[in-house]
């Protein structure tokens, strides 16, 4: 295979990196127990009465009630996303989700930073390449005479 030169190689690398990051972020970690699922979901929901704590970390009664509801929903066979949506709808005015949903318009929260980083890296690569390939400016005889004249005029300053 002919070796890619320049920006196509960088673009290919960025696409491969984005694909691996997407797969890694969405890949399931294998079978989990109901308790592990409850804990994982509770870590992504904010305590409605605490400041800066998740339902998992908080020991407030409201958080315990939400953990109990999560456990009931898990036992009923609902998916993690369904449970988060249920809790979010129940407390819609408080916005309890600590992690935005990965679907619809909310997925832009996940995608836009990656796109911005890839575009910034691409822009830097283009800029560095231009700087490297810019021809050196050669001094002409006229340039040398101007510098020499300036030196003579300001020799005693």
Token pair belonging to 109: 């929260």
Q: Do 39 and 71 reside in the same domain of the chain?
A: yes
Q: Do 51 and 77 reside in the same domain of the chain?
A: yes
Q: 9 or 111, which is more confident?
A: 111
- Ranking 66-80, 122-136, 142-156 by mean pLDDT, the lowest is 122-136
Q: What residues make up the domain containing 114?
A: 101-132
- ∠ CA(25), CA(65), CA(33), 5° rounding? 45
Q: Do 45 and 84 reside in the same domain of the chain?
A: yes
Residue 146 has what pLDDT? 92
Query: pTM for this one?
Result: 0.50
Q: Do 44 and 95 reside in the same domain of the chain?
A: yes
CATH number, domain at 35? 1.10.8.640
Q: Do 106 and 89 reside in the same domain of the chain?
A: no
Q: Do 114 and 95 reside in the same domain of the chain?
A: no
User: Per the domain annotation, does 146 fall within a domain?
Assistant: no
* pLDDT, tens digit (0-9, with 9 covering 90-100), for 21-78: 777 766 556 557 889 999 999 998 888 888 888 989 989 998 899 999 999 999 999 9
Percent of the chain clearing pLDDT 90 (strictly above): 25
User: Per the domain annotation, does 25 fall within a domain?
Assistant: no
Q: Do 49 and 72 reside in the same domain of the chain?
A: yes
Candidate ranges 10-14, 22-26, 82-86; pick with highest mean pLDDT: 82-86
Map 8-33 to HEC letters: HHHHHHHHHHHHHHHHHHHCCCCCCC
Q: Do 38 and 65 reside in the same domain of the chain?
A: yes
Confidence of residue 126 (pLDDT cuts 50, 70, 90): confident
What angle do the packed helices 108-133 and 7-26 form, to 10 degrees? 160
Q: How far, in Å, CA of 114 to CA of 105, rounded?
A: 15
Residue 119 burial class via C-beta count within 10 angstroms: exposed 0-12, middle 13-18, buried 19 and up: exposed
pLDDT at 106 over 50: yes
Residue 6 has what pLDDT? 66
DSSP state at residue 59? -
Q: Do 68 and 91 reside in the same domain of the chain?
A: yes
Q: Do 120 and 61 reside in the same domain of the chain?
A: no
Q: Which residues pair with 54 in a beta bridge?
A: 46
User: Per the domain annotation, does 147 fall within a domain?
Assistant: no
- Ranking 16-30, 107-121, 133-147 by mean pLDDT, the lowest is 16-30
Q: Do 53 and 84 reside in the same domain of the chain?
A: yes
- ∠ CA(51), CA(57), CA(99), 5° rounding? 75
Number of domains in the chain: 2
């Amino acid at each position: 295979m002919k070796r890619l030169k320049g920006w196509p190689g960088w673009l290919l690398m960025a696409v491969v990196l984005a694909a691996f990051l997407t797969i890694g972020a969405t890949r399931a970690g294998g079978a989990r127990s109901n308790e592990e699922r409850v804990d994982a979901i509770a870590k992504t929901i904010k305590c409605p009465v605490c400041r800066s704590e998740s339902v998992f970390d908080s020991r407030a009664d409201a958080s315990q009630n939400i953990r109990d509801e999560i456990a009931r929903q898990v036992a009923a066979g609902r998916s993690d996303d369904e449970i988060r949506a249920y809790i979010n709808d129940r407390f819609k005015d408080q916005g309890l989700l600590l992690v935005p949903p990965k679907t619809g318009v909310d997925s832009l929260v996940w995608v836009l930073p990656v796109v911005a980083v890839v575009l910034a890296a691409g822009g830097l690569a283009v800029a560095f390449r231009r700087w490297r390939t810019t021809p050196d400016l050669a001094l002409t005889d006229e340039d040398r005479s101007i510098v020499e004249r300036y030196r003579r005029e300001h020799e005693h300053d």
